Structure 1
């Protein structure tokens, strides 16, 4: 083969290769994309959690307000039993977690003393499950000692480099409240000392302090919603008939200083047959509200609307990563509740007593601190805090709730959303006839 013939042959082969590549590329680019499938439902989030690198004798402090009689800051002391579930999961996986508990006694001084006591015991981080001034005092005291501190139920008054909250942001809560009131133009506020969200634009307000009792307030509210008749004037002619207000309120925002007082307002409004939506701005998702409403024979109906982070027990039914994470948490809760030897945080009763209230937020706070310590390979509080600032955690790391990103003080990545009360038993927690029948779901029940 001469040089000219060889050159022609190489050119032809080169053209053929280019054409072949073009055909393959065209077929690849025009191939129909495979439909996106949900994450597999298989239990890829195990009940037992491992933590390679976790130091021995690892200790986490838990601060909350003892008592079940409405003590300030005690509204989440049953929800925080989720920390026990997290500790049990790691223990099952061969990574022992020692929970040390302190009572803040409902005061700022008590909170500071609780932090000091836990620091003396050598804890690597603290979960503060109280609310109000004592929660802020505990967070500040822990921050001053360089201790990593996570608040699942409150915002710290003074943020710090080792202080995180996993509650929805204030802006997110305001937006969710606005969503729950979409289409409502005649909003009435009923208050018993609670904070008034900035997003609430009420056209009228009723304060309990202006009435002799809660029954009087509820009656007036029912009149203004058109659910009760206007009283006849004293000088009304004989035979006059009562009428309803001509421009009734179409929603009621209910606010109170504590979940127990909130439940009292809600039950009173229900007893007067107020039928419009009752928007509960704060405290309704605390176990203390559910208990108080049940004791008052109030109704857990879809009429009650509150605001919470995405998730809750119902998330376990989702076919995604969060669904698997919540399902694993609830499975661990059922297993731990079946063992009478596993006690609550105070050690005075089996965990099963509070299984109906133990939540994902407190569970995830413990998971986060464990993951940070394992990453640091050290229980030194400063190193744990430094490691925590570098992580973002999700269901793959054992969380039951939404993803947490600790690069910012507000670690929760999901936004708040309206949630609706229901008395439906989802069958995901241990059966307990004494537990209040109230769960919060993402959508109201349909008739």
Structure 2
């Protein structure tokens, strides 16, 4: 039954091409609200920024051969991306200048293992230096082992449908753990497993019939590497972050996949971006024009995502591993929402959640800079914008949210007098009926 449910959910998201973008993003967040003061956060609250390997590294000298190296029809090639591979020291300095204490990065499997029998020591040394630089700058690494991208040699051998994938993935992951445990990082084993599988289905790398088997194998290796991490790093904090799915989809995804990952997790990792409400049922139509950047956002939606997870996994700390807002090409959003205003509004609702007893312990903004958003440079999520296609210097230009985030980290929140710039939606469907019938007060 669980396997059938997983397949049904994935295909409901992916078998209608005209609705794919809307369905996926509407699988993340929305909500209703109240106007109480934002309570102070605890002194140890973790402020951070997030990125991934493939999306930001690029390489003028050639990109490691992976399943994402050659884009599908209609996708823009990645090129150099924002060249984090060669500019990581200056980007780390930008992150440190925000006052954050956590920097999420990813290790790129195709980069460190370009062939089945060969690991690249030069690339391992790059990660040694990069992660060491994060620590030296006073931040804690949050390392993602698997962020959707796989070596071409692995995919040519059948990818996750090949039973050998379990052994191959674990051999890579164990090397990552044993090499970097000395830095005392937080760990993310798989980034958004349900969306990982959904991407493979959309790209034709996986058949619907094989999806349940792939899910089983991912859960299996997650459980095994969880134990490896705790042997190498006693007291480690390990999770697999999930993309919050609104409008009633989340409980189904929980049963089908997320619950299985959470059996071996020290905290709940949540990603939340978009909002969808019954009061504005046509808002998602903006995606037809602006793609991800046209989807509706509502800052209070983060409260409902947190509340759902607190109820689902009682007593477990919750960390917002990714949260932010896209714009199209760096221009203003059609709804007029500014990045800095939305960020402050998000943090208000995080503080409200904490005041209501939800054990949220940290927040990562996605992302430090604009990067490659899975086939396009149009959606811009960065605190620092980078015009990859038009600016060869790849200059990092601060958005209005940079100053806002600095104030937030310095004050450990938005302050008790802050009120959101946008009123909560009349009837959000982030928690489906629950967010309309039991709105935050």
Specify the TM-score bucket, using the shorter chain as the normaliser. under 0.3
Q: Which has the higher contact order (CA 8 A, sep 6+)?
A: 2
- Which protein has the bigger helix share? 2
TM-score (norm 2): 0.28
So what's the TM-score if we normalise by structure 1? 0.27
